[in-house]
């Protein structure tokens, strides 16, 4: 049987991907715009199409706590959340990564209250930046499906054993019906080997997990985690290469679009990158030497790849879909600047924040962002960063 | 006329519960089954039965669709519920060479006068068809027939499989209603 | 690898996620060191009711070979709760001698 091209809601396709990965446990709490993902999984379990435990919990805090237990028992574990739900999970996210549990979670990125917003931006993702999870951003339905499959393989790799978050834009991806190639189940089975967690909870071979870490050992424990997360980058890249070989779709930590030799670069993350690419086509057609760079691997941060891809440009405009309120520039831009600081050759980095709380950025919008960015780079600005599209 | 060899953007006007989102999805799935590229999405946000709602479809027979923003300037507008004409400017943003497909019993001349619709206009009494064929006045699948007649955006038979998957044993009647609307839709330049 | 003291462990010595693979090693912990007074017993008064065992927060009270309840001084922290609760006044707390 060949891979099947189907028109499908991206959320439903994620459920299908988790099914193909043959998950053992799903513990989740519904929250817009993620609900359709776990709704579909609940349906698959109820209909007997997926042999898994579906644990309907009373909150996201409980969802992630239940995931800790099932993952520690050696079960392949999946969950999904968004926005406030991710925030409610916050403290447990740290436990999942520091206990090195290979949980896979999709996050349908959503703005944070108040004012109450169910719509998409990257505020939720940025708030969990330092939780120690591997984090990937995706741009379309196909990428989400592919990266959910990769996430299981990466998380469960014996060299990694860390949880993975796959970010997809709420509504702009989660609620979109679009063509998706669903790989063949057998091929997925070959791609994701069975989970062999080294210390599964077992009454016959008891262990203690999440023990006390007094001052004499806490730093060592955290450094071990830091080293492992950084080393995971090689496994992520290796996994994407293997995925490319088997499924002919290719991913890398920092991706480019018509950026070779560009004088000005725009950097984006998530689904708005596709609209941005359309804008790049327009400005290129006008003869402007402008390209696009998209950050796919957010954690561990791909320092070398980023430096290699942007350092030759004169101007780098970074679009953030979140604010670091009262802080420096947008959170992504802040990290980009930090990654480039002290490099012999580096572009002038301009921070623009836009697309907050689900506000669209059209092709024309991206053209405006590019010209504004160039102007700020050349003439300077009194602001630490620019905000796009706010009515004065 | 709408050029279906280019990117076509369609906006559906309905009321919550009338199936505007479902018809957008079915159309996109039919287009994808034909090997085309398509996107369907709701107007994002809370859903409320009876309130005016929008849904959107993009179809491109040539290349993958990259735009991830809402449709501001549609090529085609489909209206599931005539009562929306009085409270919504359904032609807002419509492209100069765009067209409107309306479920209505009113004569075209009257519609043009009353609501200032100057573009090509396709009309069908979908409510009566839905009542007769489905037994309920839900017009979303019926209006798919009208849209296909007016634009040729997909083949009518391409919608049958998505309808079967979506409606199961109720699919047959929905397909019949869609076909009846296809026959009865009249298109005026 | 020779067993290292707790201040000699490096980050490389830790099991993944800081998992402790020898569970129950807290039993090696001699909490009896914390004691400044210890229980003494007049077992003639003991009716073997076991109330002291129930109340002992350390869980270190067990019946001895005669069936009388007695604290394990390796763990007993000398809190005196057993003496307070024993209603036949078997237990008297006395100062530990330096």
Widest CA span in chain B: 42
| Cα A163 to Cα A155: distance, rounded to the nearest angstrom | 6
Contacts of A186 (CB under 8 A, 6+ apart): A1
How far is residue A344 from each of residues A1, A248, A267, A374, B16, measured CA to CA in Å?
Answer: 53, 37, 20, 21, 58
Q: Does B40 touch chain A (CB under 8 A)?
A: yes
> Given this model, what pLDDT does residue A154 score?
98
Q: Give chain A's domain count.
A: 2
Q: Do chains A and B touch (3 or more CB pairs under 8 A)?
A: yes
> Given this model, what pLDDT does residue A41 score?
98
Note whether A278 contacts B67, CB cutoff 8 Å.
Answer: yes
Q: Chain A contacts of B42, Cβ < 8 Å?
A: 175
| Cα C96 to Cα C98: distance, rounded to the nearest angstrom | 6
For residue B65, give the nearest of A356, A260, A120, A271 by alpha carbon.
Answer: A271
Task: Judge whether A49 lies within some domain.
Answer: yes
| Cα A54 to Cα A43: distance, rounded to the nearest angstrom | 10
Residues A226 and A265 in one domain: no
CA distance A139 to chain C (A): 32
Note whether C18 contacts A213, CB cutoff 8 Å.
Answer: yes
Q: Which of residues 125-154 of B touch A (CB under 8 A)?
A: none
Residues A71 and A122 in one domain: yes
Q: Whole-angstrom distance between the N-terminal and C-terminal Cα of chain C?
A: 38
Helix axes B171-184, B140-151, angle to 10 degrees: 40
What are the tens digits of pLDDT across the range B37-50? 999 999 877 777 88
Rg (CA), chain A: 21
Q: Which CATH number fits the domain that encloses residue A96?
A: 3.40.50.970
Q: Does A108 touch chain B (CB under 8 A)?
A: no
Neighbour count for residue A49 (Cβ, 10 Å):
11
Which residue reads 């836009």 in tokens?
A: A354
Residues A337 and A212 in one domain: no
Residues A258 and A240 in one domain: no
Q: Which CATH number fits the domain that encloses residue B88?
A: 3.40.920.10
- Residue of chain A with shortest Cα separation from B59: A178
Residues A208 and A300 in one domain: no
pLDDT of A336 higher than 70: yes
Q: Give chain B's domain count.
A: 1
| Cα A284 to Cα A288: distance, rounded to the nearest angstrom | 5
ipTM passes above 0.85? yes
Residues A104 and A56 in one domain: yes
Domain endpoint, select from A220, A247, A274 = A247
Task: Judge whether B31 lies within some domain.
Answer: yes
Average pLDDT over residues A50-79: 98
Q: Which CATH number fits the domain that encloses residue A334?
A: 3.40.50.920
- 3-state secondary structure string across A82-135: CHHHHHHCHHHHHHHHHCCCCCEEEEEECCCCCCCCCCCCCHHHHHCCCCCCEE
Task: Extract the tokens encoding B23.
Answer: 């018809």
For residue B17, what is the DSSP state?
A: T
Option in A209, A220, A223 nearest C17 (CB)? A209
Contacts of A222 (CB under 8 A, 6+ apart): A98
Query: Which of the residue ranges A218-222, A260-264, A364-368, C19-23 would you say has the lowest mean pLDDT?
Result: C19-23
How far is residue C12 from each of residues A158, A271, B171, measured CA to CA in Å?
Answer: 16, 40, 63
Q: Which of residues 38-97 of C touch A (CB under 8 A)?
A: none
Residues A63 and A93 in one domain: yes
Residues A243 and A260 in one domain: no
Q: Does A211 touch chain C (CB under 8 A)?
A: yes
Residues A30 and A106 in one domain: yes
Residues A206 and A308 in one domain: no
Q: How far does Cα A233 stand from its chain's mean position? A: 14
Beta bridge partners of C39: C93
What are the tens digits of pLDDT across the range A93-152? 999 999 999 999 999 999 999 999 999 999 999 999 999 999 999 999 999 999 999 999
For residue A265, give the nearest of A203, A201, A312, A231 by alpha carbon.
Answer: A312
What are the tens digits of pLDDT across the range A176-187? 999 999 999 999
Per-residue exposure over B96-135, b if at least 16 CB sit within 10 Å of its own CB, e if not: eebbbbbbbebebeebeeebebebbbbbbbbbbbbbebbe
Q: H or E stretch including A275?
A: helix A272-285
Q: Does A193 touch chain C (CB under 8 A)?
A: no
How is A61-89 classified by DSSP, letter by letter?
HHHHHHHHHHHHTT--EEEEE-HHHHHHT
> How many CB pairs (< 8 A) connect A and B?
75
> Given this model, what pLDDT does residue A291 score?
98
Note whether B68 contacts A362, CB cutoff 8 Å.
Answer: no
Q: Are B187 and B150 in contact (CB under 8 A)?
A: yes
Q: Are B148 and B182 in contact (CB under 8 A)?
A: yes
Residues A382 and A314 in one domain: yes
Q: H or E stretch including B10?
A: strand B8-15
Give the domain extent around B76: 8-188
Task: Judge whether B1 lies within some domain.
Answer: no
Give the domain extent around A123: 4-247
Task: Extract the tokens encoding B156.
Answer: 């009518």
> Given this model, what pLDDT does residue A224 score?
97
Beta bridge partners of B55: B12, B42
For residue A125, give the nearest of A114, A142, A139, A112 by alpha carbon.
Answer: A112
All residue ranges of chain C with pLDDT < 50 are: 1
Q: Which of residues 6-35 of B touch A (CB under 8 A)?
A: 24-25, 28-33
CA distance A219 to chain C (A): 8
Quick one: pLDDT band at residue A193, thresholds 50, 70, 90? very high
* Domain spans, chain C: 30-95
Residues A299 and A231 in one domain: no
Task: Judge whether B2 lies within some domain.
Answer: no
Q: What is the pTM of this model?
A: 0.93
- Residue of chain B with shortest Cα separation from A175: B41
Number of helices (H), then strands (E), in chain A: 13, 15
Most confident of B87-91, B112-116, B153-157: B153-157
> Given this model, what pLDDT does residue B2 score?
86
What are the tens digits of pLDDT across the range A254-287? 999 999 899 999 999 999 999 999 999 999 999 9
- Residue of chain B with shortest Cα separation from A179: B32
Domain endpoint, select from A247, A269, A294 = A247
> Given this model, what pLDDT does residue C1 score?
43
Domain endpoint, select from A247, A270, A287 = A247
Mean pLDDT of chain B, nearest integer = 94
Task: Judge whether B112 lies within some domain.
Answer: yes
The CATH number for C30-95, chosen from 3.30.70.20, 3.60.15.10, 3.40.190.10, 3.30.70.1140, is 3.30.70.20
Q: How far does Cα B138 stand from its chain's mean position? A: 13
> Given this model, what pLDDT does residue C98 score?
67
Q: Are B29 and A7 in contact (CB under 8 A)?
A: yes
């Amino acid at each position: 049987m060949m891979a099947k091209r189907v028109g499908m809601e991206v959320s439903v396709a994620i459920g299908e991907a988790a099914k193909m990965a043959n998950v053992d446990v799903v513990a989740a709490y519904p929250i817009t715009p993620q609900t359709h993902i776990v709704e579909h999984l609940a349906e698959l379990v109820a209909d007997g199409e997926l042999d898994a435990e579906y644990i309907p919990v009373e909150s996201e805090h409980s969802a992630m706590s239940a995931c800790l237990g099932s993952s520690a028992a050696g079960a392949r574990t999946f969950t999904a959340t968004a926005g406030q739900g991710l925030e409610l999970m916050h403290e447990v996210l740290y436990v999942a990564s520091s206990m090195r549990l290979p949980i896979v979670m999709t996050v349908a990125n959503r703005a944070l209250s108040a004012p109450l917003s169910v719509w998409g931006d990257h505020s939720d993702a940025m708030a969990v930046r330092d939780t120690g999870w591997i984090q990937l951003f995706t741009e379309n339905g196909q990428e989400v499906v592919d990266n959910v499959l990769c996430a299981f393989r990466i998380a469960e790799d014996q060299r990694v054993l860390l949880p993975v978050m796959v970010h997809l834009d709420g509504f702009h991806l989660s609620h979109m019906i679009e063509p998706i190639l669903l790989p063949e189940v057998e091929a997925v089975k070959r791609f994701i080997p069975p989970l062999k967690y080294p210390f599964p909870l077992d009454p016959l071979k008891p262990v203690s997990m999440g023990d006390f870490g007094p001052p004499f050992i806490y730093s060592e424990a955290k450094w071990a985690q830091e080293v492992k997360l950084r080393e995971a980058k090689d496994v992520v890249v290796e996994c994407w290469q293997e995925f490319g070989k088997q499924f002919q779709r290719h991913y890398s930590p920092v991706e480019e679009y018509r950026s070779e030799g560009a004088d000005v670069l725009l950097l984006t993350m998530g689904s708005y990158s596709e609209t941005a690419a359309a804008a790049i086509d327009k400005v290129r057609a006008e003869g402007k030497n402008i390209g696009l760079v998209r950050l796919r691997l957010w954690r561990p941060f791909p320092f070398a790849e980023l430096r290699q891809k942007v350092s030759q440009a004169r101007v780098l405009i970074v679009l953030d879909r979140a604010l670091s309120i009262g802080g420096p520039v947008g959170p992504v831009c802040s990290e980009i600047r930090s990654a480039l600081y002290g490099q012999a050759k580096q572009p002038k980095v301009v921070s623009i924040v836009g697309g907050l709380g689900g506000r669209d950025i059209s092709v024309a919008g991206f053209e405006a962002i590019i010209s504004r960015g160039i102007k700020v780079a050349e003439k300077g600005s009194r602001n630490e960063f620019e905000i796009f599209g706010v009515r004065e | 006329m709408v050029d279906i060899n280019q990117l076509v953007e369609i906006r559906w006007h309905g009321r919550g519960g009338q199936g505007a989102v479902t018809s957008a999805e079915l159309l996109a799935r039919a287009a994808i089954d034909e090997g085309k590229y398509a996107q369907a999405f709701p107007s994002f946000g809370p859903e409320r039965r009876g309130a005016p709602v929008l849904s959107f479809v993009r179809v491109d027979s040539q290349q993958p669709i990259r735009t991830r923003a809402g449709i501001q300037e549609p090529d085609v507008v489909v209206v599931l519920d005539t009562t929306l004409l009085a409270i919504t400017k359904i032609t807002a943003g419509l492209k100069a060479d765009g067209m409107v497909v309306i479920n209505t019993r009113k004569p075209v001349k009257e519609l043009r006068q009353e609501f200032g619709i100057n573009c090509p206009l396709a009309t069908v009494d979908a409510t009566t068809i839905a009542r007769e064929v489905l037994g309920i006045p839900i017009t979303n699948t019926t209006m798919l027939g009208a849209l296909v007649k007016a634009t040729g955006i997909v083949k009518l038979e391409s919608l049958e499989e998505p309808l079967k998957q979506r409606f199961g044993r109720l699919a047959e009647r929905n397909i019949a209603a869609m076909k009846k609307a296809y026959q009865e839709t009249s298109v005026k330049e | 690898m020779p067993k290292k003291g707790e201040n000699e462990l490096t980050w490389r010595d830790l099991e993944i996620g800081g998992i402790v693979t020898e569970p129950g090693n807290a039993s090696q912990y001699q909490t009896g060191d914390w004691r400044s007074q210890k229980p003494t017993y007049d077992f003639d008064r003991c009716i073997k009711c076991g109330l002291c065992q129930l109340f002992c927060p350390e869980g270190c009270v067990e019946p001895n070979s005669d069936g009388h309840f007695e604290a394990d001084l390796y763990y007993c922290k000398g809190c005196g709760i057993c003496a307070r609760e024993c209603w036949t006044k078997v237990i008297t707390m006395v100062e530990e001698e330096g």
